C-alpha cells in the first residue's frame, strides 16, 4: 500500500523540484510578517531566511542579554537543543558511508558490555528514531534525585558509564512498536560514537560534520558566549539550566543562525551525504510523529501544491529554535529565541516565512 510514509520518502528523494514556487517571503514582505508576529509575541532573537545557503533576509530582534542591554546579533550563539540530534544523525550517516556503522545491527556489535538480551533487539536506527523501547532511565533518575544533575556538572560521567547506570533497563516496549522521545536513546548513541571513533563525542562530530561543513560557531555549549535564556520577560526571570556531556547528542550543542543555514544547505543540497543517505535521513519511520532519523519531515502546502520540508526544532530551558528546509527550492528558515516562547508559535512563524500552510 502506498501511504504517507512512502509519499514523504519519494517526494523528499525527488525534491519536488519541478513544482518549485516563489512562496518564500523576503524583503518587505518578510518584514511585515515578522512585525505582525512581534505585536503578539515577546520574541527576542534572530530570524534568517536563506536560499541555496545564502541569506536573503535577516533580522536580529531585542537582546541576547536583557539586563546588560546586549543586543541580539546574527553572530549570537543560542542553545539549539534537539537540533543536536539532527547534527548527530549527519555524523552517524557519514560513519555508515565509511562502512564503519550499520544502522540495523544490534548495538551489542559496538557496545560489547551492553546486556545481551535487550541489546540484541535494539539497533541504531531505533535509537535515532526514538523507537528503541529502551526506558528513559536518565530522566527517571533525575526526577528521583534532584542533586544528580548538579553532581554530574561537578563530576562528569562518561557516556559509557551513563549507559551502564541508566541505559540498560528492561525494554518498555518492543523496538519499533512505539515512539518515546527519550534522552537515554541518545546517551547510548554518544557511547557508540565514542566507541567507534575512539574520540570524545564532540571531537568526532567536529571531524564528521561541523568542520567539513565549515561551521565555525557550532559545538558544545560555552555559557559565557551564549545568549541568556529567560523563563519569562514580564517579570524578568532567567532560566538557568545545567548541561552535562551525557546530553550532548540529544540537546547539548549551540550554534548561530548563519551556521545552521550553512548546515542545512550543505546537508540537503550539497554532497556531504550521498543521495542514498539523504533518502535514509528523510524517510519517515513514525508517521504519527513525522519523525525520520534525528529529525522530522513535514508536508505543507504552497498554492495547493505539497511541499516537503526537513524540519527540526529545539526546546531547552528558555531557548527555542527552528531549522526548516524546503526540499523543492533549497530555501531555509532559521529562528533562534531566548524567551521561552511556545514552540507552536515559533513553528507557525517559520511556516509563514516559508510560504506554506
Neighbours of 25 (CB within 10 A): 21
Mean pLDDT throughout 32-37?
97
Q: For the chain, what are the domain ranges?
A: 4-99+199-353
> Which DSSP string do the residues of 312-323 spell out, in sequence order?
EEEEETTEEEEE
Q: How confident is the model at residue 7 (pLDDT cuts 50, 70, 90)?
A: very low
Residues 36-82 have pLDDT tens digits of 999 999 999 999 999 999 999 999 999 999 999 999 999 999 999 99
Architecture of the domain made up of 4-99+199-353: 3-Layer(aba) Sandwich (3.40)
Distance of CA 87 to the CA centre of its chain: 7
The more confident residue out of 233 and 2 is 233
Please, what is the Cα angle at 209 between 89 and 120, to 5 degrees?
A: 35
Residues 231-252 have pLDDT tens digits of 989 899 999 877 888 999 999 9
Q: Give the C-alpha distances (Å, rounded to integers) separating 55 from 15, 46, 132, 343.
A: 21, 13, 38, 24
Amino acid at each position: 500500500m502506498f501511504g504517507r510514509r512512502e509519499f514523504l520518502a519519494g517526494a523528499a528523494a525527488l525534491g519536488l523540484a519541478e513544482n518549485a514556487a516563489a512562496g518564500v517571503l523576503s524583503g518587505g514582505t518578510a518584514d511585515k510578517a515578522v512585525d505582525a508576529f512581534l505585536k503578539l509575541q515577546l520574541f527576542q532573537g534572530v530570524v534568517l531566511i536563506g536560499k541555496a545557503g545564502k541569506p536573503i533576509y535577516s533580522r536580529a530582534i531585542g537582546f541576547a542579554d536583557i539586563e546588560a542591554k546586549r543586543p541580539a546579533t546574527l553572530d549570537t550563539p543560542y542553545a539549539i537543543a534537539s537540533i543536536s540530534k539532527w547534527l548527530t544523525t549527519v555524523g552517524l550517516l557519514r560513519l555508515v558511508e565509511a562502512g564503519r556503522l550499520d544502522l540495523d545491527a544490534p548495538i551489542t556489535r559496538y557496545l560489547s558490555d551492553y546486556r545481551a538480551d535487550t541489546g540484541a533487539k535494539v539497533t541504531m536506527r531505533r535509537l535515532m528514531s526514538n523507537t528503541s523501547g529502551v526506558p528513559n532511565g536518565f530522566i527517571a533518575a533525575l526526577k528521583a534525585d534532584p542533586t544528580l544533575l548538579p553532581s554530574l556538572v561537578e563530576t562528569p560521567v562518561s557516556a559509557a558509564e551513563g549507559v551502564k547506570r541508566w541505559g540498560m533497563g528492561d525494554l518498555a516496549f518492543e523496538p519499533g512498536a512505539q515512539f518515546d522521545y527519550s534522552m537515554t536513546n541518545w546517551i547510548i548513541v554518544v557511547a557508540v560514537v565514542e566507541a567507534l571513533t575512539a574520540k570524545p563525542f564532540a571531537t568526532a562530530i567536529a571531524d564528521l560534520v561541523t568542520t567539513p561543513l565549515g561551521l565555525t560557531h557550532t559545538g558544545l555549549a560555552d555559557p559565557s558566549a551564549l545568549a541568556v535564556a529567560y523563563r519569562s520577560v514580564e517579570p524578568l526571570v532567567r532560566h538557568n539550566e545545567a548541561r552535562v556531556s551525557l546530553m550532548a547528542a540529544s540537546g547539548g550543542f549551540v550554534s548561530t543562525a548563519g551556521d545552521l543555514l550553512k548546515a542545512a544547505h550543505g546537508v540537503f543540497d550539497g554532497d556531504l551525504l550521498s543521495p542514498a543517505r539523504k533518502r535514509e535521513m528523510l524517510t519517515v519511520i513514525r508517521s504519527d510523529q513525522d519523525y525520520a532519523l534525528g529529525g522530522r519531515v513535514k508536508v505543507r502546502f504552497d498554492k495547493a501544491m505539497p511541499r516537503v520540508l526537513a524540519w527540526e526544532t529545539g526546546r531547552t530551558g528558555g531557548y527555542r529554535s527552528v531549522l526548516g528546509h524546503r526540499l523543492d527550492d533549497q530555501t531555509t528558515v532559521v529562528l533562534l529565541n531566548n524567551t521561552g516562547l511556545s514552540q507552536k508559535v515559533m513553528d507557525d512563524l517559520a511556516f509563514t516565512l516559508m510560504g506554506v500552510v
